[in-house]
A and B are shown apart, each in its own frame.
Chain A
Amino acid sequence: MYWYHWTTILALSICLSVLFWHFIRLIRLGKPKDYSRKSGSVTEGIVYSSTKAMVDHKESAYLHIPTYFAGMVYHIGTFVSLFLYVFFLLNILIQIALPQWLVWIIAAGLLVSSFCGFSLFMKRLLLKSMRSLSNLDDYLSNLLVSLFQLFTLLNLLYSSSIEPVYYIIASLMLLYMTVGKLKHVVYFFAARYHLGFFYGWRNVWPPHKTK
């Protein structure tokens, strides 16, 4: 193992520890105490909130098809890259070779997803309304994750020459995840939970349920 392997393992440990702290803090703060008389099902509300509510007649999706599509592909690319990151780390210890056809499929996917990431970056940079909404963290987060995906692709294809740069970028992204908006990886799920709780309690979600 080289220095950049140890660096990235340290970055990963810090990242996971901080995200775990955020998660534990949410658990310790607990769910809302509601004294009103419940009208619906919180469980069904949360299930709906975490599934159909994310696509069901949602303006942020159907009124913004290109952005929504780019965002979806970008997020899938991020999760694939994170999975490959773990795979690459394991590969230091246990040599596992991916079949070449799979390498090319993943590479093509990551090329598209990183392109989506850079497109969203450009949209944020060029549109006045998006600039008015954005801070440095938004640009940095977007850029780091897009670079992470791009270098995952390069590391997949040209491992020996690109590896140190790849691990440095991955480490930067992991460390940055602890301070910037990338920690929405934890808070996204918490937000869906609270939304499901709120609407489930009042019998709003799932929709069209009459007493």
Chain B
Amino acid sequence: MEKLTKEQIDKALKVLKMPADSKLVTHLNACVHCGLCATSCMYFIALQNDKYIPARKVELVASLYRRYCTLTGKIVPKLVNARELDEQMAEEMIDILFGACTMCGRCVKHCSIGVDIAYVVRVGRQMLAAMDLVPATLQATVDAALTTGNNMAIPTEEFVDTIQWMEEELMDEMDDKNARIPLDEKDKHFLYTLNPREPKFFPLSISAMAKIFYAAKESWTLSSKMYDVTNYGLFSGNNEHAAVIAQHLYDEVKRLNANTLVLGECGHGSRATRWEGPNYLGMEYDFDVITVVELINDYIRSGRIKLDKSLIKERVTMHDPCHLSRNGGLESELRFALNNSVSDFVEMTPHGFDNFCCGGGGGQLAMSEYNDRRIKIGEIKAEQIRKTGASIVVTPCHNCIDQLTQINHTYKLNVKIKSIAEIVADALVIEK
């Protein structure tokens, strides 16, 4: 690593020295190093290395805080392990905060004090972002979203072609020329968003959701340019980039004059847009924002769609995306959708708020340099799935689907991985 400049260090320390509220100061002062968080972290469990203990992740940031922001740390740094921000420290931070944490927040619940460890990790990433030290692979994903409007840099023509192809498939399946996937239509009730992995790798999930919209006779549209629900600024730690990406969707809702922004099946994207987006932009949204799971549940509750559970006879289990369940409050909603769609639903152990991350969160899927670790920690999820005896794993997150697909292959689980829209569409009864 090149020598850090004073300007880089000053920018990083500014993150610590100018807290917006009492949250940062609280969490940097609260850890007592009891070490009881270790067994709640999948990196520690799977890799059995002390450096992955969540408290040590907190300590990386807290030791800098003590060195530069406390009198004790300045006078007797050795007493409180107050460390200098130098190249060695920065390298350690990159390896641990980017490469060994999915920011899933499981350790937060189990921390004996209540330190928001995932939040502190995000602050550490913010410091690295301020020094331009975000791993190039992750930064490339952010840059793609900033310059093209979607994190996979899918050209508009290619996206439109895919949507038109899916629309033709839908028309054939429904035997109805009015079964459409609207693009860029103004004044619709819903603007629906996607994870770019859908048009790129899983286009059938788009037609599955279109089928649900068709059955519910919904007024909706997709955007041909700003449809990306993801926001990797959440993971890179760069709030300015995160704000630009959040602004893309905000502006698109306004341009198309939609009433409600519907967040496609993406855990972190839902979090980044619904919970963090308004904070990145520093304003309340003047339109509704809901996840597609809540929307589907509204259709089920109101009778706008009808499902036949008996159509899916295989055993089904659910993987809770961390940013929808633990960090998004949708644990019960996810189960409502599934319980109404399948006849044999079995939970993983643990599940819901306590569920293990799949291993693909925190930007890990984008950072290929940490692939080996990511696949290794995925073994925990693989064992959870195996123990359920399920042949279908449902998860409303396309990043999770990608990671689950890889661990399905690596650990030979022989399961099918589906999104919520796909499983609901499979159970859908179309009344003509």
Does B353 lie within 8 Å of A207, measured CB to CB?
yes
Does B278 lie within 8 Å of A190, measured CB to CB?
no
Closest-by-CB residue of A relative to B352 is A207
Pick the contact of B32 from A54, A59, A181, A192 — CB < 8 Å? Answer: A181
Does B20 lie within 8 Å of A32, measured CB to CB?
yes
Q: What's the Cα separation between A22 and B20 when bound, in Å?
A: 16
Q: What's the Cα separation between A199 and B331 when bound, in Å?
A: 13
Say yes or no for A135: interface residue by CB 8 A criterion: yes
Mask for A119-141, Cβ within 8 A of B = 1, else 0? 00000000011101111111010
Does B33 lie within 8 Å of A134, measured CB to CB?
yes
A-B contact list, 6 entries, CB within 8 Å: A29-B21, A29-B22, A133-B35, A137-B79, A199-B329, A210-B336
Q: What's the Cα separation between A165 and B157 when bound, in Å?
A: 81
Does A60 lie within 8 Å of B37, measured CB to CB?
yes
Does A190 lie within 8 Å of B284, measured CB to CB?
no
Does A60 lie within 8 Å of B33, measured CB to CB?
no
Mask for B202-229, Cβ within 8 A of A = 1, else 0? 0000000000000000000000000000
Say yes or no for B25: interface residue by CB 8 A criterion: yes
Closest-by-CB residue of A relative to B39 is A63
Interface size class of A (residues with CB under 8 A): 35 or more
Q: What's the Cα separation between A128 and B278 when bound, in Å?
A: 44
Say yes or no for B248: interface residue by CB 8 A criterion: no
A36/B20 contact (C-beta < 8 A), A67-B36, A134-B33, A202-B329 known: no
Mask for A129-155, Cβ within 8 A of B = 1, else 0? 110111111101000000000000000
Q: Which of A60, A179, A193 has the most CB of B within 10 A?
A: A60
Closest-by-CB residue of A relative to B281 is A35
Mask for A53-77, Cβ within 8 A of B = 1, else 0? 1100111110110011001000000
Task: Name B residues whose Cβ lies closer than 8 Å to a Cβ of A.
Answer: 19-23, 25-27, 29-40, 50-51, 53, 55-56, 59, 71-72, 78-81, 108-116, 119, 274-279, 281-285, 288-289, 326-329, 331-333, 336, 353-354
Distance between A76 CB and nearest chain B CB, rounded to angstroms: 15
Q: What's the Cα separation between A30 and B26 when bound, in Å?
A: 11
A26/B26 contact (C-beta < 8 A), A35-B283, A39-B329, A133-B56 known: yes
Does B30 lie within 8 Å of A60, measured CB to CB?
no
Residues of B within 8 A of A78 (CB): none
Distance between A58 CB and nearest chain B CB, rounded to angstroms: 6
Does A49 lie within 8 Å of B39, measured CB to CB?
no
Given contacts A29-B19, A133-B50, 6 further A-B pairs with CB under 8 A are A26-B26, A33-B279, A36-B285, A133-B33, A193-B26, A194-B26
Residues of B within 8 A of A33 (CB): 20-21, 279
How would you classify the secondary structure of chain A's contact residues: helix, strand, loop or mixed?
Answer: helix
Residues of B within 8 A of A39 (CB): 329
Mask for A178-205, Cβ within 8 A of B = 1, else 0? 0111011001101111110011001110
Does A194 lie within 8 Å of B116, measured CB to CB?
yes
Those 7 A-B pairs whose CB atoms lie nearest each other, nearest first: A135-B81, A35-B278, A60-B36, A203-B329, A29-B22, A190-B26, A187-B30
Distance between A4 CB and nearest chain B CB, rounded to angstroms: 25
Does B109 lie within 8 Å of A58, measured CB to CB?
yes
Does A191 lie within 8 Å of B115, measured CB to CB?
yes
Q: What's the Cα separation between A198 and B108 when bound, in Å?
A: 11
Residues of A within 8 A of B35 (CB): 129-130, 133
Distance between B184 CB and nearest chain A CB, rounded to angstroms: 26
Distance between A69 CB and nearest chain B CB, rounded to angstroms: 12
Residues of chain A in range 22-48 having any CB-CB distance to chain B below 8 Å: 22, 25-27, 29-37, 39-40
A60/B20 contact (C-beta < 8 A), A36-B276, A39-B329, A136-B79 known: no
A36/B274 contact (C-beta < 8 A), A135-B80, A187-B29 known: yes
Pick the contact of A187 from B26, B39, B78, B289 — CB < 8 Å? Answer: B26
Distance between B387 CB and nearest chain A CB, rounded to angstroms: 18
Residues of B within 8 A of A32 (CB): 20-21, 23
Q: What's the Cα separation between A179 and B277 when bound, in Å?
A: 38
Distance between A1 CB and nearest chain B CB, rounded to angstroms: 31
Closest-by-CB residue of B relative to A180 is B80
